Chain A
Amino acid sequence: MTQQTSQAMDDLLTDLRAALPPHTLVTDPTERDTYACDGLAAYRVRPGLVVLVDTAEQVAATVRACARHHVPFVARGSGTGLSGGALPHADGVLVVTSRLRTLHEVRPQDQRAVADPGVINLQVSKAANPHGYYFAPDPSSQQICSIGGNVAENSGGAHCLKYGFTAGHVLSLEVVTPDGEQVTLGTEAPDAPGYDLLGAFVGSEGTLGIATRATLRLTRMPEDVRTCLAGFASTDEAGSATSAIIAAGVVPAAIEIMDALAIEAAEKAVSCGYPEGAGAVLVIELDGPEVEVAHELERVRQLCDEHGCSEFRAATDAAERAEIWKGRKSAFAAVGRISPDYIVQDGVVPRTSLPDVLREMGRISRERGVRVANVFHAGDGNLHPLVLFDASQNGATERAEEVSGMILDLCIEHGGSITGEHGVGADKARYMPRMFSEEDLDTMQLVRCAFDPAHLANPGKIYPTPRMCGERPRVVHAADEPVVAGAEVF
């Protein structure tokens, strides 16, 4: 910390002590260390100050003080993000919104819920379920991740294929802009007049401000849900079956692939009883009106058969459905059983490229001697390769990181994306220039310049080199050089 930034932080603290109750301010270094990373533990930075806000007004007061003293700030919800989106700034303030956890309203007649940013994703559905509704975006971490984090990262989960991203399920947001102003974006009804700032804000990873309240769209629970499991000899066949299902006009609620290594891990962890010897399995969930689901189930069964399915099971009740999902849902954690360390990658390829990309990944894996387990949302081509390694072996971490990067390059080569739901964060900012041209990135940052000309909101995330805003002198807060503590283990 330079003398100048230290002085700014002292001045800021003086202001915040006057404006906020004492219990909201965390200054003790050890306590601050608790917040040094989010779900991506590979990067750690001790925040300069942590503010545990109780109200939206406190968020605004904190951000206003940051603007006054030119101190960067980073928002954090539950801290489950996997791209370092909530990685703190050493000379900045970490605004923790997890205490803002009031679910203000569930209005089934309007298909709406109004939630604070710290409300846990699953809590919204639990409150809406008795009325016959649920909140469709369901990241795998939905038991712990917060709505504010979902909004920041546009994190959707397995059901995006049919139900779309988080962005399609947020009707309006109350936000604190980087100059500390409280503004509402959107209206409770769709098609609010003006630019779709709401659409730009969702997924902006905390770089345009902090959401302090969200009006969410609830989805009617389907009349029927059927989950099936199909075993294949290889991911090639499973991938082809996936494409065939989509091409046939069936849009499942979810369609997930696990390869042999992921199956092996899941079996070891939870004995999920997936087809023996399968090189890949598909978990397919169909939902909707009973008569349509029955029709689609037959079609899916037939298409799986045509693409070499060795075993097909359709759950007949909730218990069997849970049994099928058990393997898939435990897969990430289960990988810990077969490897001491692993990197979870998040990339997207066009669905039709899946077989090619998987083959190519297999080749890279063999050539580099790094095992890669695959678990992913096949329906929308969102890959989550798990790159396995043992950090205690010389050079293993570097090799795993190299393979992880090569997989992203593969995604870009095939016209895909470097992230489907985890965000770019601190982790992948360096890959953005591989996916987008300088002009693309500069144009995106025009939005940033409109919201945050001083670059105080979550600096160093998404964009590797912030753009200069207008003719103003360049004021750029680069990301801290994080301490890399080896690949994440979670």
Chain B
Amino acid sequence: MKKSYYLFNPGRLSRQNNTLKFVPIDEEGKEGQARYLPVESIKELYVFGSLDANSALYNFLGQQGIVVHFFNYYEYYTGSFMPRDYLLAGKVQIAQTKTYLSANKRLALARRLIEGATHNMLKNLRYYVGRGAPLQNPITQIEALWQSTATAPDIETLMGIEGNIRQTYYECFEHIVSDFAFEKRSKRPPENELNTLISFGNMLCYTLCLRQIFHTQLNPTISFLHEPGMRRYSLALDLAEVFKPLLVDRTIFSMLNKKILQASDFRTELRGCTLRPAAAKKFVTHWEERLQTTIQHRTLKRKVSYEHLVRLECYKLIKHVLEIQDYKPFKAWW
């Protein structure tokens, strides 16, 4: 089974014959023991530490179809090295563009994406209502906001409502986890612990969606809910909306409530709040575990991993734009 590699330590990554060699380099510039990463087992690379690499390496990674994501010192996502598209289908690309260009089709599809996202957010909130959290009011508010999307005349209005839904939802977080306050959603930099975790998790979710799109015939730059060009790969943002509640938020709740992450795992400075490296490692470990969790799929009648659910969503989008089957968003049922 292929897996994602997270490189936290600074060092040099190079091609060694037909595999990869990583040499850690410490602060004084001394080289450590080399480690070999079997290229066949790499799904993608996440680079958090400073990395030395040459074009021979990137040519090799490109050939192997390995995506590399880069993060800066503050663990913010800076960008990705994407190998050349290897799955091209003109028919899908044209159909995807046509769906985007038709105002009605785009609006309907965007609304369905919000439907999935809203359902999955409510699923999380209702679970914690069952455990005694006082969330009845925000749930009613979110339901009302969702109802109002039915009459939204354009994408901007829809995005506005979506923003309100998500804000109401995020404000519930402090009732779900103990010890941490939410205040308001702050980004670049996030100002407190919850915001830091949300930003970090959302980045991981975005890169996950991007990789899944890369392995299908969809064009990652043509999106429906988000405006193409908002980010380089805006279709990944669309898909991430649906999956963030299941993948990111549940990881955060579980890690904070089980006290796997505590106040000492964060560093608050003038530049905002960041995760300490050890905490980031803990987070990605739990994240990877979550992605490999499986559920019995109700229509496929077999077990699929959470990660694979994202790929299945891509298939649904392809079928939708080709008018083979209308898109119904993924709705968590457990």
Co-assembled chains A and B: no
